[in-house]
A and B are shown apart, each in its own frame.
Chain A
Amino acid sequence: MSFPEYTHEKSREWFSRASKVIPAGVYGHLGPAEGLFIPVEKWPLFSEKAEGTYFWDVDGNRYIDYMCAYGPNILGYNDPDVDAAVAAQMKLGNCTTSPSKIMVECAEMLVDTVDSADWCFFAKNGNDTTQTAVVTARAYTHRKKVIFFKGYYHGVSPWQAKKDYGGVLEEEVMYNIILPWDDIPALEKTVAENKNEIAAIIAQPYDHGNFHDNVVMTNEFWAKVRKICDDNGIQLIIDDVRAGFRLDLAGSDHYFGFKADMICFCKALANGYNMSALMGREHLKNTISGLSITGSYWMSAVPFAACIATINKLKEINAPQLFDTLGTKLINGLIVAGKENGFNLVASGKPALFYLRVANDNSLFLHQEWVAECVSRGIFFTSHHNHFINAALTDEDINHTIEVAEDAFRAVKKNHPELG
């Protein structure tokens, strides 16, 4: 079956307008540069509306969205239960001088949900939580150094960057130590060489970094990391901004069988309503209480209502199991579609956050071509980042995705007679 390609005239017009008043037109990960829209003509640049697992661009093209706004869409866009809770809270109030009591209810619900956590500190973006976690660890330990694992991304503050990033001072990253993933001897050696100097290890629950096949860590790895932290007074921070609530509603540390000292959540917390949460263990509560960290909108009530509705619904539907089932079905179908057309499609990471790569060449040229052919036929993938499953995705959507993917493989093959 073949599918017609979309066109994006209105997207181009809006981008032209945007470029005049917004740096880069669309900056950051949603934009064509960082989002690697290759070639840009195949991609939508602005959306008109969204519903369930779909969004429609300004040209009226519909996409099955496997990026889920890069994570926040976990139940489906415009989920009726979440939106009803939001509407009810909106009538009561949102950004008020005294925070709404719903903040307390939200914190209680999250503390009851996340296995390792005894408290909950609210903010807006994932970056706020990783930043606060590291400051808390430094304040608690009175130490400077922080260990990261290679390929890390924990936000965009200068300390989270690397020394070759524009506007970042070497001094701001001089206490960062970068180690390879899954190398316990290297970690032990580094900790021994920096005795009583390391405040924290900050890491995602597994290597779901961009530009490379994702690598899932073992429970044994995390048990060893936990022990090294315990033996050396190092705070273990899990950045669960991306994977949070997609692997395990009790936290990705729970999924891998250990307890973090602090765990950072954002994307999936409130189905697109803007909030994040740093959660942690009792011994850190006094320390974080005394820090001067806050924000204008951090205690707004509406996202808390959305969060309660979201987490409750995720529990009702056993979302992690659902995501694993849907993701596995999709991945298997895509791999077969590739194989039948002579392409070696490699899927890595957990099915709920699958990462794809066409491995026929070592340049990603074919992979980027295939992704572009999928996008221009209504399947929104990316070529460099893990994808996300949401609960509104159906078997019918998956079957359609696989049919389109097969057509996209055929289109790439046609453009490359050398592939045989």
Chain B
Amino acid sequence: MTDNKTMAYINMFAVLGTLEDLCELDGKAKELLKGTKPISTGFDVKDGPQATIRFANGKCTVTEGCSDCDIKLPFSNVDKFNGMINGTVKPFPSKGFTKISFLLKTFTALTDRLEEVMRPTPEALKDPEFFNLSTTLTFYTITSAISQLGNHDPISTFSASNIDDGDIMMSIKDGPKANIRAKNHKLTTIKNCEDAPRAIMEFGSMQLASDLFNGKVNALACIGEGTIRMKGMASMLDNLNRILDRVALYLA
């Protein structure tokens, strides 16, 4: 069972949050952003997440809060926001009417591209470059979702309550990495972090990570085979894995 409020946080910071990486890593996304003047869109969800997505100099950043933005999209509840992500709700801005063409054109094209990469066709995955991009973005979405679950999902907050302070590094060998930072049982995902972790979980290859994300291989068997490496504070990893198990419920 999933929780709609948690889903809204995942949609905001893990799904839309991956726009940051899409704009950095994907040539097509860079093309879409070419010539775009700096612009920011705030998402204001009542009793839910608030965030601002900024585009400037070909880069995208997602930050918490929406008090300072060019366009503001208010949502009366988390279901409405989740509906926008699912394509069943059309948002209306409360601010920035003159800039709405950005939302209708560039932003929509970027989110369409994100969906194309995150929900790829088997045919598209045959292209090694696209495969790497898709797997990398999926990795970032999952690692970002872990923190949102740990902070909001009624079951995963229990798991987070048992995680000691410190960083857990998740990585794909020769690929992306992210630290899940626990402080007072609140989790934050920091992409490409260089800080020393107290625990490590490394997937042996992009292919293995992709197979795991798609449920094609068993994680425990992979540990036995040595294709998933874990070390360090086992209790931190144990509780992180319980959250990871629930990520699939939300991102399926």
Contacts and interface: CB of A to CB of B under 8 A. Distances in A.
Interface stretch (B28-36, B61-69, B219-227): B219-227
Given A212-B235, A368-B231, A363 B199 contact: yes
Most buried by B among A19, A25, A363: A363
A26 B224 CA distance: 8
A164 B156 contact: yes
A54 to B, nearest CB: 24
B225 A15 contact: yes
B197 interface: yes
B138 interface: no
B190 interface: no
A185 to B, nearest CB: 21
A32 B234 CA distance: 13
Nearest to B219: A33
Given A164-B158, A363-B198, A363-B233, A41 B166 contact: no
A363 B197 contact: yes
A384 interface: yes
Contacts of B246: 164
B135 interface: no
A415 interface: no
A194 interface: no
A27 B220 CA distance: 8
B231 A365 contact: yes
A163 interface: yes
B155 interface: yes
Interface residues of A, number: 34
B121 interface: no
Contacts of A164: 155-156, 158-159, 239, 242-243, 246
Given A39-B229, A164-B242, A25 B224 contact: yes
B218 interface: yes
A108 to B, nearest CB: 42
A10 B237 CA distance: 29
B232 interface: yes
Interface in B147-185: 155-156, 158-159, 166
Nearest to A170: B155
A40 B198 contact: no
A362 B197 CA distance: 10
B28 to A, nearest CB: 38
Nearest to A20: B221
A24 B219 CA distance: 8
B118 interface: no
Interface in B234-249: 234-235, 238-239, 242-243, 245-246
B230 interface: yes
Contacts of A36: 230, 234
Contact of B226 (A41, A163, A210, A365): A41
B234 A383 contact: yes
Given A38-B231, A41-B226, A211-B234, A165 B242 contact: yes
Given A162-B158, A362-B166, A363-B197, A368 B232 contact: yes
A152 to B, nearest CB: 12
B226 A40 contact: yes
Contacts of B229: 38-39
A383 B226 CA distance: 17
A23 to B, nearest CB: 7
A45 B224 contact: yes
Nearest to B157: A164
A295 interface: no
A40 B242 CA distance: 22
Nearest to A32: B224
Interface string A201-238: 00000000011100000000000000000000000000
A96 to B, nearest CB: 38
A180 interface: no
A16 B232 CA distance: 26
A210 B233 CA distance: 11
B221 A24 contact: yes
Contacts of A99: none
A60 to B, nearest CB: 21
Given A15-B225, A32-B224, A364 B245 contact: no
A103 to B, nearest CB: 38
Contacts of A24: 218, 220-221, 224
B224 A40 contact: yes
Nearest to A15: B224
Contacts of B230: 36, 38
B223 A33 contact: yes
Contacts of A31: 220, 224
B6 to A, nearest CB: 14
Contacts of B233: 211, 363-364
Contacts of A362: 166, 198
A166 interface: yes
B223 A32 contact: yes
Contacts of A163: 155, 158
Contacts of B196: 363
Contacts of B166: 362-363
A8 to B, nearest CB: 11
Contacts of B159: 164
B180 to A, nearest CB: 14
A364 B242 CA distance: 21
Interface in A1-39: 15-16, 19, 23-27, 31-33, 36-39
17 contacts: A19-B224, A24-B221, A25-B224, A31-B224, A33-B224, A37-B224, A39-B231, A164-B156, A164-B159, A164-B239, A164-B242, A363-B166, A363-B197, A364-B232, A364-B233, A365-B231, A383-B234
Interface of A: 15-16, 19, 23-27, 31-33, 36-41, 45, 162-166, 170, 210-212, 362-365, 368, 383-384
Smallest CB-CB A-B distances: 6 pairs:
A24-B220, A211-B235, A32-B224, A33-B223, A363-B198, A33-B220
Given A19-B218, A165-B242, 13 more contacts: A19-B225, A32-B223, A33-B224, A164-B155, A164-B242, A164-B243, A210-B234, A211-B234, A363-B166, A363-B199, A363-B233, A368-B232, A384-B234
